[in-house]
Structure 1
Amino acid sequence: MNTRLMGKHFITTDEWTREELETVMQVADYLKLHTALHIDVEQILKNKTLFMLFFEESTRTRNAFEAGITQLGGHAHYLTPKATQIDHGEGPKDTIEVLARYGHGIGVRNTLVGGNAYMRRLAEHAKIPVYNMQCDIYHPTQALADLYTIRSKFGQNTRGLKFVVSWTYGPGYIRPLSMANSLITLMPRFGMDVVLAHPKEFNLHPEMMAQAEKYAKSAGVKFEVMDDMEAAFEGAHIVYPKSWGPIMHTEDEKEGLAIIEKYPEWVVNSKKMALTNEESIYMHCMPADRDVEVTSEVMDGPHSVIYDEAENRLHIQKALMALTMMR
């Protein structure tokens, strides 16, 4: 356990050692147990302030952080560019220099192109920890909560589990690559054999693919890419079907939406789940398009752990704040 994490930014899991990530999950266990037993932990971050800067709306991320800081004895400020001087052109340095004098941590959600770069500029000048609440490249708090959920279902030793990240049909708008990027770079580090499945136009960032391959090689596990969803699902212990846009193939939104429409059969249903391991789990960061990308039969079925997964966002984010927030 490494508890020397005060002030450390959480922008990607790649910048945290496995020992540090294990520490977060151990603290999450502690806090989750206290929640179950109705034991107060409000002294941990009593009177501390978390700033939450959202460039777009959120359900689970916002409320897990806001409820979490409240349960730890602190409070949250919900900020948007429009409700601050950011929309009027104030840069990251001036924003964070001021906020750091008022509070003790800041979370940022910005999935627009350049979102990660914006967080990096904040972190460069921040004297308080910066938490990535999702950007255009990563969604680290969700990925860590996903790992925590998998361990709660299969035990601490996840070596040998087959983890499938699959693209799914999700019409209407272009979704970021951040969830898939985060999953393929985290799960091999904890001994899982990872399969990435998608149609040919939905490649991920080359840097993320290289990281996944590096971690798989280091851990002595497999990292495979397939273009067949059903073949990928065969024997899987964990399936994580999630839509993302053909961003690496085209920057034209109209063209991207047309490409998505080529693959309506890439959906999750009971037939595909029957191909998986008998004890498999279905995961999704939510929101999922019910009866579009996944059937309600699967979302509400015995394999689904989506609500446990959502709850674990609370415990992981509380642990992150407890370990890193400036006191």
Structure 2
Amino acid sequence: MQTLFRGKHFITLREWTREEIDTILDVSCELKRSFAMGVPTPLLPYQTVFLMFFEQSTRTRNSMEAGITQLGGHAHYLDTSTMQISHGETPKDTAIILSRFGHAIACRNCFWKTGNAYLREMAQWSRVPIINMQDDLYHPLQAIADLMTMREKRGKDLRRLKVSIIWAFATSHKKPISVPLSQALLFPRYGMDVTLAHPKGWELPDWVLEEARKNAEQTGGTFRVIHDQDEAYRDADVVFPKNWGSWVTNESTDVVDSALEANRAWKCTREKMHLASPECLYMHALPADRGNEVEDAVIDGPNSVVFDEAENRLHTAKAVMALTMGGRG
């Protein structure tokens, strides 16, 4: 088990070794067990984490706020529209000041071609760990919770598990590519047989596909990209039908256009789930666009583990904070 984490940034899982990720999972399980038994875990007494949000949030904000409270610390929720950021203050200046005030800075910035660069600049100047609460390219907190959930439901050895990341139709907003991108990079590292399925026009960056294939080769798994949703569901052990935006091929911020409307049939239905293995897990980062991405009969059905998955956002967030916070640079 790796033990040297104090001050380490949590911006993407690409900078974390397999051993380090396994440690996060082990700590998450321990914290979940303590939570279930009502055992206090004041691992970060009087510690402060600043939560900077450029977008709305339910699971991420509350898992981080509840998590730091349960660890004995305190969170400051910061709506960036009410900060001097809205008047042009730079990531450098914000990071320098907040890192002198507390023990970690967490940020969600999903603006295309801006978000990850913003976090990277803060990390360059911060004296404390930067935690990525989602940016335009990565959502490591979601990916680690997904991995934890699969291990709980299917065992620690996930090699050759058939997992499909499937684009789904939605109209709520033009979503980032960060969830499928993070999953495509992480899951092959655990030897899974990963399928990425989407209509043409919703591609992930080429470098992601190349790295995912390399990760699969190193662990004995596989990674493929297809454009047939039925094939993606067929015999799958886990499915992640979720919408993401066409940012790579179309940088327009329009939510609904003719290309999107042409792919209404990309929807998770009972019929699609019947193509999968009988015990196939239905997973989703939430919030799901009910009626578009998925039928109620599926998300509320016996194969759905979305609420267990969402709960694990709390325990994995606590693990990340417990491991990376606690000291000042």
**Is the TM value for this pair above 0.5?**
yes
Give the alignment's Cα RMSD to 1 decimal.
1.1
Shift of 1:252: 2.7
One-letter code aligned to 1:314: L
Residue in 1 aligned with 2:236?
236
1:112 maps onto 2:111 in alignment:
yes
Residue in 2 aligned with 1:61?
60
Residue in 1 aligned with 2:143?
143
One-letter code aligned to 2:119: M
Query: Which deviates the most, 248-257 or 74-83?
Result: 248-257
Instruction: Please list, as runs of the form range in 1=range in 2, the aligned pairs for 1:246-265 lying within 5 A after superposition.
Output: 246-254=246-254, 257-265=257-265
Distance in 1 separating the partners of 2:53 and 2:153: 32
Structure 1 runs, 4 residues or longer, greater than 4 Å off:
none
Shift of 1:257: 2.6
Distance in 2 separating the partners of 1:200 and 1:313: 31
With normalisation by structure 2, the TM-score equals 0.97
1:79 maps onto 2:68 in alignment:
no
Residue in 1 aligned with 2:292?
292
One-letter code aligned to 1:234: R
Distance in 2 separating the partners of 1:56 and 1:80: 8
Shift of 1:258: 2.2
Contact 2:173-2:255 within 8 A present in 1 as well: no
One-letter code aligned to 1:76: A
Any unmatched runs of 5+ in structure 2?
none
Residue in 2 aligned with 1:209?
209
Q: Which string of whole-angstrom CA distances, capped at 9 and with x for unpartnered residues, describes residues 5-41 of structure 1?
A: 0000011011100000000010011101100110011
Shift of 1:214: 1.2
1:127 maps onto 2:120 in alignment:
no
Residue in 2 aligned with 1:178?
178
Distance in 1 separating the partners of 2:98 and 2:173: 33
Distance in 1 separating the partners of 2:315 and 2:285: 15
Distance in 2 separating the partners of 1:290 and 1:166: 16
Q: Which string of whole-angstrom CA distances, capped at 9 and with x for unpartnered residues, describes residues 173-220 of structure 1?
A: 311111110000000001100000001111001121111111011112
With normalisation by structure 1, the TM-score equals 0.98
Distance in 2 separating the partners of 1:75 and 1:307: 25
Contact 1:171-1:257 within 8 A present in 2 as well: no
One-letter code aligned to 1:23: T
Residue in 1 aligned with 2:8?
8
Contact 1:28-1:319 within 8 A present in 2 as well: yes
One-letter code aligned to 1:309: E
Structure 2 SS opposite 1:218: helix
Distance in 2 separating the partners of 1:298 and 1:273: 8
What is the aligned residue count? Answer: 326
Distance in 1 separating the partners of 2:254 and 2:326: 45
Any unmatched runs of 5+ in structure 1?
none
Shift of 1:255: 8.8
Residue in 2 aligned with 1:307?
307
Contact 2:194-2:222 within 8 A present in 1 as well: yes
One-letter code aligned to 1:139: H
Distance in 1 separating the partners of 2:226 and 2:79: 39
Q: Which string of whole-angstrom CA distances, capped at 9 and with x for unpartnered residues, describes residues 71-105 of structure 1?
A: 00000001122221111111111111111111000
One-letter code aligned to 1:127: R
Distance in 2 separating the partners of 1:277 and 1:146: 19
Contact 1:246-1:259 within 8 A present in 2 as well: no
Distance in 2 separating the partners of 1:255 and 1:108: 24
Structure 2 SS opposite 1:51: strand
Shift of 1:326: 3.1
Structure 1 SS opposite 2:287: coil
Distance in 1 separating the partners of 2:265 and 2:280: 21
Distance in 2 separating the partners of 1:171 and 1:322: 37
Contact 1:174-1:257 within 8 A present in 2 as well: no
